[in-house]
Each structure stands twice: as C-alpha cells, then as structure tokens.
Amino acid sequence: AQPQLLAGKNIMITAGPTREAIDPVRYISNHSSGKMGYALAQAARSLGANVTVVSGPVALAAPAKCNLVKVISALDMHDAVMADINQQDIFIACAAVADYRPATIAEQKIKKTNNDEMIVRMIKNPDIVAKVAALENAPFTVGFAAETQDVEHYARDKMQRKNLAMIAANDVSQSGQGFNAEDNALTVFWPQGMTQIALASKQDVAAQLLQLIATQFNANTSP
C-alpha cells in the first residue's frame, strides 16, 4: 500500500469538457474525454484523500469511492465548484472548460436559411481556477495548461496570472497524448521548481503528479 500522504484531506478535481449550448440540439465543446481527471481522482484516493470530481459530460464509469458531481456547461461547473470549495484543501483544475459560450441560447432549433454564413456571438465564461485561487481562504490550487506551442512560456504565464500554486502543462499538439488519448506527458511548474513526467499511461502520470502535489502541499501547509 502507498503511504497515505493525503489522509483525510479534501480534494476537488474538475474533469472532462464542458458543453455550451447554441440551441436545444446543438453545442460547442472540445475533445476532452475526462480520462486524465478521472485518473487524478483515483490517484488522490490511493493517497487517502476524500475526492470530489466535478465532471463535464464523459463516457467513463464513475470513479470508485469518489463523490461525483455531474455538470454540462462552464457556468454549471463554476456553480458546482463554488458551492463546495470552502471545504477543500486542494483544488485541481483538469477540465477543458470552454473559454466562451454563445451569448444567447436560442429557445427553438435554429433553422437553416438561404444565408451561406451564420455568426454565433460568444461571451466569456468565468475562469473557474482563477476564481478559486483568488478566494480569501483559497485551497492549494493546481491548474493545467493545454498548449500547442511555447509550452513553458505559456504555462508559467498562466500560473502567474491565475495565481496558482502549481501548473501541469501538456503539449496537446503531439499525437498519442493529451486530449482523448490513453497516455500523457507533463511538465510541472511551481514557483521554486519544475519537473518532467515522461509519456506514460494517464494512470501512471496521475500517480506521479499527485506525489508532487502532495509534497508541495505538505511543504506549504506544515508549520
């Protein structure tokens, strides 16, 4: 058995995509499968944590022995996270939250017209991980960064801008890792350091990332 580095700690993890409705039958989304977030949930359980997963729509079985909160849109995810964040010691934002949503949701199915062009106006969604990190009693907050270029530069920039304790960057331009793949590879940054987690199954990568998070969390919170 693994040492219970996070025994009794409460961890919330966001996972999967969000769906942003255009009308009753259409939405905008992305290719997140939830596999990385669900693997993190199992890894956190293995270290003794009480785990809440706030999950967008995915085709995965519920993570064992975790509290699963199912949501659809970014606004739903935001509300579900905020409703329970005060109870959390650690927050990990692995979900691929839509940055924008359609400004209005048509009440009826939008009809095809003779126009060759159709414009959907989008407005910004709340940045969930940034809002969590900005709370007065913020939990130890870990973000992800999905990048297709300049991974280190953009990841460090996101960590600083969103005031995160750590950020796990994946290069989502590589095939066989990242969105909807079985495997992943991460570069993890925190203010005083960085390390690489080599390409491996999302379960292995999640176990290694949780070790790093537990180490930094325990270093930050021990007197």
Give the contacts of 61 (CB within 8 A, at least 6 positions apart): none
Using the contact rule CB under 6 A, the part of the chain among 30-38, 62-70, 111-119, 211-219 near ligand PMT is 30-38
**The one among 27, 91, 140, 144 contacting ligand PMT by CB under 6 A:** 144
**Residue showing tokens 């095809």:** 112
Interface with ligand PMT includes 94 (CB under 6 A)? yes
Q: How far is the CB of 223 from ligand PMT (least distance, A)?
A: 29
99 is in an annotated binding site: yes
- Residue 86 DSSP one-character state: G
Give the contacts of 214 (CB within 8 A, at least 6 positions apart): 5, 6, 47
**The one among 180, 195, 218, 220 contacting ligand PMT by CB under 6 A:** 180
- Residue 186 DSSP one-character state: E
91 is in an annotated binding site: no
Using the contact rule CB under 6 A, the part of the chain among 1-9, 112-120, 123-131, 193-201 near ligand PMT is 123-131
Tokens standing for 129? 């991980």
Cross-strand partners of 50: 10
84 is in an annotated binding site: no
- Could you tell me which residues are annotated as the binding site for CTP? 99, 109, 126-129, 144, 158, 162
